[in-house]
């Protein structure tokens, strides 16, 4: 509110949201109590009841649904907050890990386990990361809604469980490697989103392609060859079999499955970016659009009625509201 919003306005990020649908008690009751997507039969009934044509009623429902979508300003502020956190915690993690022996030799993660001292810096790193992911798990119910809500909720649950479990069982050394590795791609992703909301198309595309490379290399390359290798094989060689080992590895494998799914989406978006010259549009929370939205005042079915338009058609696109989602946010 006090930092991100002034920055967004200074960068001329669009502050207004979608145009509001004109008040109508009957349609509002249907929208809130029955359905947000009326079928053809219900549209015909409403058309006769209100003496509107079907297209006008469809347009009203489309505009009403768009009212609940976030503005570009709100999305920019959310991305700026996350970018700030990821940049800070990634920098902190790199500074912490470069002084540790297990960064260069993962077998050191198990040297002396479980009697490994918990350093204050490592404790702080863990608590801040755990606090952030707890906040994400709760705030996603009030933050911008995405179509991949279920997948992200699963990811947050797995992440919180992993951090908590590794902290309780003192598997914190390999935990710090996992946390730092995951934060690397998130920094670039949030930067790409902010560039997109500022309508810096070339910078947004460049950052998105950079994100795609970093994500795939870190999650499909370094993660299995570095993290999973040490937890599945080196840990077993050093300490043998014990219950926590299998619980820990199952959670890490679930995380890898999510990595594969997101990598598929990112590769699709990157392919579109290369083939069409721009990154794929994120349609998970954008405003619905239609070519017939050049009118906002409903037309009566009686031919004697004369209807005025508000001039929001043509190049202005959807209700005079330009949507700018060019950077994929599939992650």
What mean pLDDT comes out for the span 3-14? 85
Q: Note whether 136 and 156 are same-domain residues.
A: yes
Task: Tell me the C-alpha to C-alpha distance, in Å, between residue 320 and each of 10, 69, 73, 76.
Answer: 22, 15, 16, 20
Q: Rounded distance, CA 217 to CA 223, Å?
A: 8
Cis, peptide link before residue 123, omega less than 30° from 0: no
Residue 137's pLDDT band (cuts 50, 70, 90): confident
- String of DSSP letters for 228-285: IHIIIIIHHHHH---HHHHHHHHHHHHHHHHHHHHHHHHHHHHHHHHHHSSPPP--SS
Domain assignment present for residue 292? The answer is no
Q: Note whether 54 and 190 are same-domain residues.
A: no
Are 323 and 73 in contact by the 8 Å Cβ rule? The answer is no
Q: Rounded distance, CA 21 to CA 229, Å?
A: 56
Neighbours of 172 (CB within 10 A): 21
Domain assignment present for residue 219? The answer is yes
Domain count, the chain: 2
Q: Higher pLDDT residue, 264 or 323?
A: 264
Instruction: Return the beta strands (E) in 153-210 as ranges.
Output: none
Are 269 and 213 in contact by the 8 Å Cβ rule? The answer is no
DSSP category for residue 321: B
Residue 277's pLDDT band (cuts 50, 70, 90): low
Q: Note whether 57 and 120 are same-domain residues.
A: no
Domain assignment present for residue 265? The answer is yes
The token pair that represents 124 in the structure block? 């702080």
Q: Rounded distance, CA 234 to CA 215, Å?
A: 25
Q: Higher pLDDT residue, 220 or 15?
A: 220
* CA end-to-end distance (rounded Å), the chain: 25
Helix (H, G, I), strand (E, B), or coil: what is residue 300?
strand
Residue 303: pLDDT over 60: no
- Which of 257, 278, 299 corresponds to the end of one domain? 278
Helix (H, G, I), strand (E, B), or coil: what is residue 14?
coil
Q: Note whether 150 and 251 are same-domain residues.
A: yes
Residue 134's pLDDT band (cuts 50, 70, 90): very high
Domain assignment present for residue 239? The answer is yes
What pLDDT sits at residue 331? Answer: 38
Domain assignment present for residue 313? The answer is no
Q: Note whether 40 and 143 are same-domain residues.
A: no
Q: Note whether 64 and 76 are same-domain residues.
A: no
What pLDDT sits at residue 108? Answer: 95
Burial of residue 279 (number of CB atoms within 10 Å: 0-12, 13-18, 19+): buried
What pLDDT sits at residue 38? Answer: 87
Q: Note whether 132 and 236 are same-domain residues.
A: yes
Q: Note whether 198 and 90 are same-domain residues.
A: yes
Q: Note whether 61 and 76 are same-domain residues.
A: no
Q: Note whether 108 and 204 are same-domain residues.
A: yes
Residue 35: pLDDT over 50: yes
Q: Rounded distance, CA 266 to CA 212, Å?
A: 6
What pLDDT sits at residue 182? Answer: 95
What mean pLDDT comes out for the span 205-233? 94
**Domain range spanning residue 27?**
19-68
The token pair that represents 262 in the structure block? 């997101």
Residue 314: pLDDT over 60: no
Q: Note whether 84 and 212 are same-domain residues.
A: yes
Q: Higher pLDDT residue, 285 or 91?
A: 91
Q: Note whether 50 and 78 are same-domain residues.
A: no
Q: Higher pLDDT residue, 20 or 175?
A: 175
Residue 105's pLDDT band (cuts 50, 70, 90): very high
Domain assignment present for residue 47? The answer is yes
Domain assignment present for residue 289? The answer is no
Domain assignment present for residue 135? The answer is yes
**pTM given for the model:** 0.74
Q: What is the CATH number of the domain that holds 30?
A: 1.10.10.60
> Percent of the chain, pLDDT > 70?
81
Residue 72's pLDDT band (cuts 50, 70, 90): confident
Q: Which positions ≥6 away from 205 have C-beta within 8 Å?
A: 273, 278, 279, 326, 327
What pLDDT sits at residue 264? Answer: 93
What pLDDT sits at residue 297? Answer: 47
């Amino acid at each position: 509110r006090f930092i991100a919003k002034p920055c967004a306005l200074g960068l001329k990020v669009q502050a207004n949201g979608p145009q509001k649908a004109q008040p109508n008690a009957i349609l509002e009751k249907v929208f809130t109590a029955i359905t947000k997507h009326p079928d053809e039969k219900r549209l015909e009934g409403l058309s006769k009841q209100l003496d509107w044509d079907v297209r006008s009623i469809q347009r009203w429902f489309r505009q009403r649904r768009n009212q609940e979508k976030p503005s570009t300003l709100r999305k920019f502020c959310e991305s700026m907050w996350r970018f700030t956190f990821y940049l800070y915690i990634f920098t902190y993690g790199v500074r912490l890990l470069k002084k540790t022996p297990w960064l260069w030799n993962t077998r050191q993660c198990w040297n002396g386990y479980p009697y490994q001292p918990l350093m204050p810096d490592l404790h702080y790193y863990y608590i801040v990361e755990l606090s952030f992911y707890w906040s994400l798990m709760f705030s996603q119910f009030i933050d911008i809604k995405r179509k991949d809500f279920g997948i992200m909720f699963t990811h947050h649950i797995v992440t919180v469980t992993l951090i908590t479990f590794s902290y309780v069982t003192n598997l914190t050394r390999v935990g710090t490697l996992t946390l730092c590795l995951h934060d690397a791609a998130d920094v670039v992703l949030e930067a790409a989103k902010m560039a997109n909301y500022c309508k810096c198309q070339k910078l947004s595309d460049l950052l998105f392609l950079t994100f795609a490379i970093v994500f795939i290399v870190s999650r499909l390359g370094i993660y299995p060859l570095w993290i999973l290798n040490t937890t599945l094989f080196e840990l077993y060689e050093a300490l043998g079999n014990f219950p926590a080992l299998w619980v820990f590895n199952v959670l890490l494998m679930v995380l890898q499955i999510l990595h594969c799914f997101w990598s598929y989406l990112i590769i699709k978006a990157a392919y579109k970016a290369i083939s069409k010259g721009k990154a794929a549009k994120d349609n998970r929370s954008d405003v619905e659009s239609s070519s017939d939205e050049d009118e906002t005042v409903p037309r009566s079915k009686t031919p004697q009625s004369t209807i005025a338009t508000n001039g929001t058609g043509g190049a202005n696109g959807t209700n005079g509201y330009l949507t700018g989602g060019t950077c994929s946010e599939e992650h």
